[in-house]
Chain A
């Protein structure tokens, strides 16, 4: 068992304005990953403003005081870099990996949009990116079979008012109502240095990064009163399952079973991670063995289970299966529920546990095999747990999970009364 999941150096500092800076030197390849985690996500959105955190992420690429519209992309790609950004319920991250000699350019670009976005934000830019995001919604959620499953699962898992009740992509109505002043205020409120973590991993050294961070970000002002998102740690049990059945233009019946577990980063969620792997990852998993191979009621490529790594409320565990031709939704639903139920009653064997831990080890080292993967991980642990070095604990924590803990968690959290069941039926039925 490895002592550490992060055997690279980590150095940190905090600028006077509160920006935390994390550096991990690795001279293997002539590249550096630059990663910003902002502690703002869709959990901060009030009713009527769903989708705003994500739409805002798009606006961050559209120019700032010293950077013209679309120039950000041009400069990073023109430097040979890769870049992107993502928004989820918890946070928004921005990242680029560039040949090492362009580190300073990347830091300058990030500082300019952290400190200088509002004066450059125009109605025309907002309208254009609103259209882009609406097309993203059509492409990813509306125009594909089962594409809206996540949009349907969240409100079944979390009650109205809970920060995870609505999906990050937001509603078309709210996106249509988005006005410029709201976005200017959004930036002023959340895009402050003391609400962010800057991580740099790769062909550089801490002293260089700290000096550059101070040069480019040091002149930005901290913000004193950043509002917290609503507290979602406690989700009252309803005592009965939440069940939804959708008839839609889909090619076969599909069932999702979901439960609230523990927040990411807790010992309980480490158990969930291993449990999900035992249940639904790979051909040796219980779901595959029982539903795809054994009873042969589920399509082999479309059966699985996974936890969604959210840190600010009990995170979802989702198991799903799609019916083989001729298999009814009821039969599939019963089969899926039975396998989940058995996690509490049929002990996980040593072989099952070893298999899950081996798969998780490979997954961890795959994430660690690139500078960008490492930078995002350090940014996560610095943002969510206050210390990037805690990244080293995750893999050992998974490897320490026992079969008893899995059975206990299944008995405690995966009962029928706490279950969400979403079923899709083809229209022909």
Chain B
């Protein structure tokens, strides 16, 4: 038995390249495509300016209900015929929603892409939206949310979001709404939202072997019958920090774990410090090897995992830490988590840690951007955030060039341990006294 004791160094680095990007106006809309030579599978994604940020306050969940309603029949065929037609091509209609955009996509073997985009466009542009179907879909969605909200997490997330951003704003309410907001939606809400945001052409994103794909034909299909220009998207929102740290307790009687959600506001996506700020987040909580996971999981054994990161959309951002910890160690886990955030804010990052963080984030670009779906998502990022074709290559360079000074300065500037809102969803009767005794902040019960 013999092992090689010496760790091998890296071989010659291979050049990084993002697939060739094609952008052009076509058929009244925009096409953005990536060439994946030899790839058997292709993805087409229609990106619409109809994200949750477009929903009126009090109508949270509108986009999610409309997404489901798109499949309840079209001008040409009923729901069953539509399901059979699209699934016969080997795809389902995938819908996605974030703060900035609404996405509808298909994923098929490349020779079926044209037929799949025809069905995608049929559902997006000409859904039947029969009132009885819309009401049933709404009720189903409300029920689905009630089911989801029976899990630990969604209630804590909603409380944290309302505390950070204010429930009087759309962005202070849950991305997909809550069971009550969805249950209160009316048929007109859905049809008006569709006519306002789903008829504009949008952007068609394509990832696949472009030698086997006719982009102009796809564009003509996707944008047929579309109309209306781009709408004003609004600038970054100034979100104030909390004046003091506080704990909000969400009761979950009998829970064997406590769900932790800690956070505070942070800059929007286009902020010039985006790269050093997110690297600080990576060192603190973004990777398995991060400070939080090392201490709370690998040293203490309090949890199966803990993560922290900066996340941002066009108009706002937030820093958040999330975990599930064993009930009996709720207070020490919280104290030590806040301790790591404070330490990172005060003393910054080390070169050793940053070396791992920057190499990891840079390497992930070649490791994770492989499948057509992943490439389509990367293209969508370019579109939503107005980024250039060589964004990923430049991002890689920026990550690798970030210094300890840059990242420590970002940690000092954008981490705010004294302004953390700490939402704890767990067995309140068991954990309240310890949380009060922790001295981390005033403890309030969520009602």
Contact = CB atoms under 8 A, between A and B. Distances in A.
Interface residues of A, number: 85
A251 B146 contact: yes
Contacts, number: 230
A30 interface: yes
B370 A116 contact: no
Interface stretch (A95-103, A224-232, A235-243, A330-338): A95-103
16 contacts: A77-B360, A78-B355, A80-B359, A100-B11, A108-B8, A115-B1, A115-B3, A116-B3, A132-B298, A138-B326, A283-B83, A284-B84, A293-B80, A302-B147, A361-B109, A369-B372
A427 to B, nearest CB: 11
A78 B356 contact: yes
Contacts of A152: none
Interface in A210-263: 215-216, 219-221, 249-252
B370 A369 contact: yes
Interface in B26-40: 36-40
Nearest to A131: B301
Interface stretch (B242-250, B286-294, B334-342): B286-294
A25 interface: no
Given A78-B359, A138-B326, A299-B147, A73 B288 contact: yes
B108 interface: yes
A289 B305 CA distance: 39
A322 B84 contact: no
Given A30-B15, A145-B150, A358-B88, A282 B370 contact: no
Name which of A127, A203, A366, A368 has the most chain B CB atoms within 10 A of its CB.
Answer: A366
Interface in B289-331: 289, 294, 297-304, 324-326
B234 to A, nearest CB: 32
Given A30-B366, A65-B5, A104-B10, 8 more contacts: A29-B369, A65-B3, A100-B11, A116-B3, A129-B301, A136-B304, A358-B89, A358-B90
Nearest to B252: A143
Contact of A135 (B147, B304, B355, B359): B304
A386 interface: no
B11 A101 contact: yes
Interface in B224-254: 254
Interface in B1-48: 1-5, 7-17, 36-41
A86 interface: no
A402 interface: no
Contacts of A322: 147
A300 B140 contact: yes
B85 to A, nearest CB: 9
Nearest to A218: B2
B257 A135 contact: yes
B4 A108 contact: yes
Contacts of B101: none
A285 to B, nearest CB: 8
A128 B112 CA distance: 51
Contacts of A288: 83
B62 to A, nearest CB: 18
B324 to A, nearest CB: 5
A416 to B, nearest CB: 28
B428 to A, nearest CB: 15
A58 to B, nearest CB: 10
A359 B90 contact: yes
B87 interface: yes
A325 interface: yes
B255 A143 contact: yes
A13 interface: no
Contact of A105 (B7, B107, B147): B7
B371 interface: yes
Given A358-B90, A369-B39, A79 B359 contact: yes
B92 interface: yes
Contacts of B88: 284, 351, 354-355, 358
B211 interface: no
Given A99-B366, A108-B7, A283 B1 contact: no
Contact of B84 (A66, A134, A355): A355
Given A108-B4, A369-B372, A283 B71 contact: yes
B188 interface: no
Given A78-B359, A284-B84, A302-B147, A111 B3 contact: yes
A104 B2 CA distance: 17
A135 B325 contact: yes
B143 interface: yes
B87 A355 contact: yes
A111 B1 contact: no
Interface in A138-197: 138-140, 142-145
B304 A70 contact: no
Contacts of B83: 282-284, 288-289
Interface string B351-368: 000011001111110111
Contact of A249 (B13, B254, B370): B254
A362 B304 contact: no
Nearest to B286: A77
B14 A99 contact: yes
Given A293-B80, A361-B109, A366-B371, A143 B152 contact: yes
B137 to A, nearest CB: 8
A137 to B, nearest CB: 9
A354 B90 CA distance: 9
Contact of B14 (A82, A101, A220, A369): A101
Contacts of A140: 304
Nearest to B72: A293
Nearest to A66: B5
B303 A144 contact: no
Interface in A350-367: 351, 354-355, 358-359, 361-362, 365-366
Given A78-B355, A98-B363, A99-B366, A219 B107 contact: no
Given A30-B366, A358-B90, A144 B152 contact: yes
A198 interface: no
Nearest to B356: A78
A287 interface: no
B299 A128 contact: yes
A371 interface: yes
Interface in A307-354: 322, 324-325, 351, 354
B91 interface: yes
A297 B5 CA distance: 62
Contacts of A215: 4
Nearest to A366: B41
A73 B16 CA distance: 23
A112 interface: yes
Given A78-B355, A355-B88, A369-B371, A138 B362 contact: no
A103 B11 contact: yes
A301 interface: yes
